[in-house]
Amino acid sequence: MALVRSRRASPSRTTRGGVVAGLRRRATVLAAVLAAPWIALAANATLFAGTLLRFGIVPRTMTGLPGIVVAPLLHANAAHLLANSYGIVVLGGLVLLRRERDFVVVTLSGTLLGGFATWLVGRPAVHVGASGVVFAYLGYLLSTGLFERRVGAIVLSLAAAVTWGGLLVGLLPLLPGVSWEGHIAGLAAGVLAARALARRR
């Protein structure tokens, strides 16, 4: 009598497959977040002659309220977007590698909470760019160790402070045309997100 044994994937192979699938999913999410402002930049330059920038955050005006959602997609030029792309890939990528849910929460916090705070306290100008979201990622990374009080989270926060702490200079009103208010608002939104997520866990 012949015996037929079913071929099942070994636990290690199944685990590896799950890890690879998770990394691919995260890479796809990060690529989509990164692609959106580049598409908007190309459309603004080729189809709208730069007029989309007027839809950024205009503090304390009703017409500027929609900019809270739109502003992270709009950038003055390619150099402006390149600087923010680095932050999205590195800082956002670290948040995403840690937990997908945290990435979603911090991104939304940087966009909505940070954007609304910029609308409340910003200078009377048009504020555009994803730097508020980038600073939200930084705020999360710097503070998650404080709120979670776990070894891995503390090491992550210390590493972020040593490696990217220099970005905090962007909180100072040193350069004309730079929305330091948006940077502060984004950083605060990231810290609040880290606190809320730590409490939830």
Domain that holds residue 160: 11-200
Give how many domains the chain has, as a whole number: 1
Least confident of 6-10, 16-20, 141-145: 6-10
Integer Cα distance of 47 and 32 in angstroms: 21
Taking all residues of the chain, what is their mean pLDDT, rounded to a whole number? Answer: 92
Looking at residue 7, its amino acid is R
Q: Is residue 3 part of a domain?
A: no
Q: Is residue 45 part of a domain?
A: yes
Mean pLDDT, range 17-35, rounded to an integer:
92
Least confident of 23-32, 101-110, 129-138, 172-181: 172-181
Domain of residue 85, CATH code: 1.20.1540.10
pLDDT for position 8: 57
Which band of pLDDT confidence, cut at 50, 70 and 90, is reported for residue 11? Answer: low
pLDDT value at 18 more than 80: no
Q: Is residue 58 part of a domain?
A: yes
Assigned token pair, 192: 């609040």
Q: Is residue 101 part of a domain?
A: yes
The residues near 121 (Cβ < 8 Å, ≥ 6 apart) are: 59, 181, 185
Q: Is residue 176 part of a domain?
A: yes
Query: Are 87 and 137 spatial neighbours (Cβ–Cβ below 8 Å)?
Result: yes
Mean pLDDT, range 85-102, rounded to an integer:
97
Which band of pLDDT confidence, cut at 50, 70 and 90, is reported for residue 1? Answer: very low
Q: Is residue 5 part of a domain?
A: no
The residues near 89 (Cβ < 8 Å, ≥ 6 apart) are: 30, 34
Q: Is residue 23 part of a domain?
A: yes
Share above pLDDT 90 across residues of the chain, in percent, rounded to a whole number:
86
Half-sphere exposure (Cβ direction) of 157: Cα atoms closer than 13 Å: 18
Looking at residue 103, its amino acid is F
Integer Cα distance of 170 and 173 in angstroms: 8
Mean pLDDT, range 142-156, rounded to an integer:
95
